[in-house]
Amino acid sequence: MIVPFLVIALIGVVLVLRAVGGVHAPSRGERIYVSLSPLPLVVSLVVPAVIGLTAGFSGPQQQALLRGSTWIGLGLSVLLGIVGLGLVLRLVKSRARWGWPLGASVVLAGSPFALVAVSVGLLWLVGRMR
């Protein structure tokens, strides 16, 4: 139920970034970053889903693989998010356009960590309301 909303929100954020930041032909390093940006999403969401659907979700070995791939994906998300913000800030400082594809890639790379951060924040907020 929440996944379609998150996909629509992600697309909306990317469209806003493109409108604000413009279109920029990425340099060689930026092209490498753009090509690596889906990796955290794949490692933290797609790989655990495939493991769970093929091998099951409940065995101890499967649990270890699920947790490991999720944490690796979240670590990659933080790392690539910080690197991407650095690339965007460098372009903003030089007054170059940055919105597409670089800005969209930063959103894509940081989305797994942002999803976990928002979820934990909401759970903390609900806990404070009791």
The token pair that represents 33 in the structure block: 């970053």
Q: What is the pLDDT of residue 71?
A: 95
CA distances 51 to 46, 56, 82, 109, 123, Å, are: 9, 7, 28, 21, 27
Q: What is the pLDDT of residue 2?
A: 67
Q: What is the pLDDT of residue 122?
A: 87
**pLDDT over threshold 80, residue 56:** yes
Kindly state the average pLDDT of the residues 24-40: 94
Q: What is the pLDDT of residue 1?
A: 59
Q: Residue 95 — very low, low, confident or very high, per pLDDT cuts 50/70/90? A: very high
What does the mean pLDDT of the chain come to? 91
Could you give phi then psi for residue 71, rounded to 5 degrees?
-70, -40
Could you give phi then psi for residue 94, rounded to 5 degrees?
-90, 5
Residue from 43, 42, 25, 47 nearest 97 by CA = 25
* Segment of 3-7, 59-63, 70-74, 111-115 carrying the highest mean pLDDT: 70-74
